[in-house]
Structure 1
Amino acid sequence: MDIYSRDVSAEADSDRAAIVLVHGGGWFRGDKSKEVSLATKLVDAGYIVFAPNYREAPEHTFPASKEDVLTAAQWALASDRAFDRTKLAFFGGSAGGNLVVEASIATGRPAVSWSGMFDLLAIVEQTDDLPATPTTQDLNAMKSADINQTGRNDAFLRWTILDEVGGDRSLLTKASTARHASPTGGPVFLANSLGEFVPVSDARAMQAALAEVGVASTLQLIPGTHHAEGYTEAAIGPSLAFLHDVFSAVRA
């Protein structure tokens, strides 16, 4: 885990909120070290940021990554780092966007999800006429903001999902976040581009599932094909406003 912090004073530090920042990478690639830019923006906004790694497919399949994100949050809450324990949220994009909503459902904490994948079963069923094809992009060499920026790639999206469940389609229902929204989950901010890698219908399905159980959410739809951190400049302001509002409600 990497920790990003700017200490101000004992009083201010103990009152600040914390963010567990979860990297993307299709559950099979990615690393906390790529989150420096986004973590710095969050620190500049007054947060302490915990950026963990998590176990990745295919060696470790669902639900290993979700379990690790929850463990990271528990570690942060039990640590000696100064922040208000009532004010912790999850923030992530792409596969990280999936994992933070899973964590929100499990803990009741807020989450900001950029381009998360949520109804994995539906995506796989809708692409059954396609092969599951890995990407030709060199993901390890690319910045997070440069990955999957050219629009839909359903064969690769299908591949990432099936890889996350080790090819076991019987796990897809349990792994589909939109199918187990809970009334005890935390509020969620969702962002998605209209023509991006993850179909916008998936973000809408997640919002509908949250509404069905009475959980508040905000959905920002962004023009173009940018994916997750590729639309940081468009989404960071609304995301920070959402976090400010939910944490202000905690103080009230």
Structure 2
Amino acid sequence: MNLYPTQIQDMYLVLDWLNRSDYKTSPEKIGIFGSSSGGNLVEELAIKEGYPATAWSGLFDLEGFYNKHKNTIPKKMIISDNIAISEIYQDGANDEYYKWLIINFLGGDMSKLHDATSINRVNENSGTMLLINSIDELVPGEEILKLGEKLLKQNQEFQALILKGNRHGEGYYEDVIDMTIDFFKKYLL
């Protein structure tokens, strides 16, 4: 089972491969994108390594959510390990499922919660970010605001878009793909 921090270690393996490959990728030409848990991973690398990043429905404030929902009973919603992401519950807020995701991400070891909460590491070298979320979706829209506040305190540039409705990640693809491409054109070209 790939529990935290395995996902982050995997991202560093990809970056290492890019830097050693025949492509001779220069770090200033790397931008990173992720949706949902992938949004969490790219935001982590943007914070630690300064890469420009776009996160759609990223999970940023695991610790804050968990502490706010101590009395919420977690509930697993995935019925198969091989289910397509489009088949997973994505029709609005679901605190029970979100809490289950956090616990599952940590393998039940809540002593890792603070370390797994990437907004705790925002610093003056964090990369520019485009953060997108829906108001009433699985990932609370307020997580973007919390991350934005931390970035502002470090004098870091970011863009945020909070959409009406309850679509999660790929659910608002058509509404934000052009904005996402423009973001990377601005910061990578």
Q: Tell me the TM-score normalised to structure 2 length.
A: 0.93
RMSD after superposition: 1.6
Q: Is the 8 A contact 2:18 2:24 kept in 1?
A: no
Equivalent position of 1:212 in the other structure? 153
Q: Is the 8 A contact 1:148 1:226 kept in 2?
A: no
Equivalent position of 1:108 in the other structure? 50
Give the letter aligned to residue 181 of structure 1. V
In the alignment, structure 1 residue 190 sits paired with structure 2 residue 131: yes
SS where residue 113 of structure 1 aligns? Answer: strand
Q: From the superposition, tell whether residues 236 and 137 of structure 1 become closer, same or farther in structure 2 (CA, over 3 Å).
A: farther
Alignment length, in residue pairs?
189
Correspondence list, 1:82-101, <5 A:
84-101=26-43
Give 1:149 shift.
2.3
List runs of 5+ in structure 2 lacking aligned partners. none
List runs of 5+ in structure 1 lacking aligned partners. 1-58
Equivalent position of 2:70 in the other structure? 128
Q: Tell me the TM-score normalised to structure 1 length.
A: 0.71
Measured against aligned partners, the alpha-carbon deviations of 1:114-139 in whole angstroms (never above 9, x if no partner) come to 00011111111111111111114546
Identity %: 29
Give 1:93 shift.
0.5
What CA distance in whole angstroms lies between the structure 2 residues aligned with 1:212 and 1:113? 20
What CA distance in whole angstroms lies between the structure 1 residues aligned with 2:23 and 2:81? 33
What CA distance in whole angstroms lies between the structure 2 residues aligned with 1:122 and 1:110? 24
What CA distance in whole angstroms lies between the structure 2 residues aligned with 1:201 and 1:137? 28
SS where residue 242 of structure 1 aligns? Answer: helix
Larger Rg: 1
Q: Is the 8 A contact 1:98 1:117 kept in 2?
A: yes
In the alignment, structure 1 residue 78 sits paired with structure 2 residue 20: yes
Measured against aligned partners, the alpha-carbon deviations of 1:165-195 in whole angstroms (never above 9, x if no partner) come to 1212221111111111011111011000011
Equivalent position of 1:119 in the other structure? 61
Q: Which structure ranks higher in relative contact order (CA pairs < 8 Å, sequence separation ≥ 6)?
A: 2
Measured against aligned partners, the alpha-carbon deviations of 1:201-222 in whole angstroms (never above 9, x if no partner) come to 1111111111111211100111
In the alignment, structure 1 residue 241 sits paired with structure 2 residue 182: yes
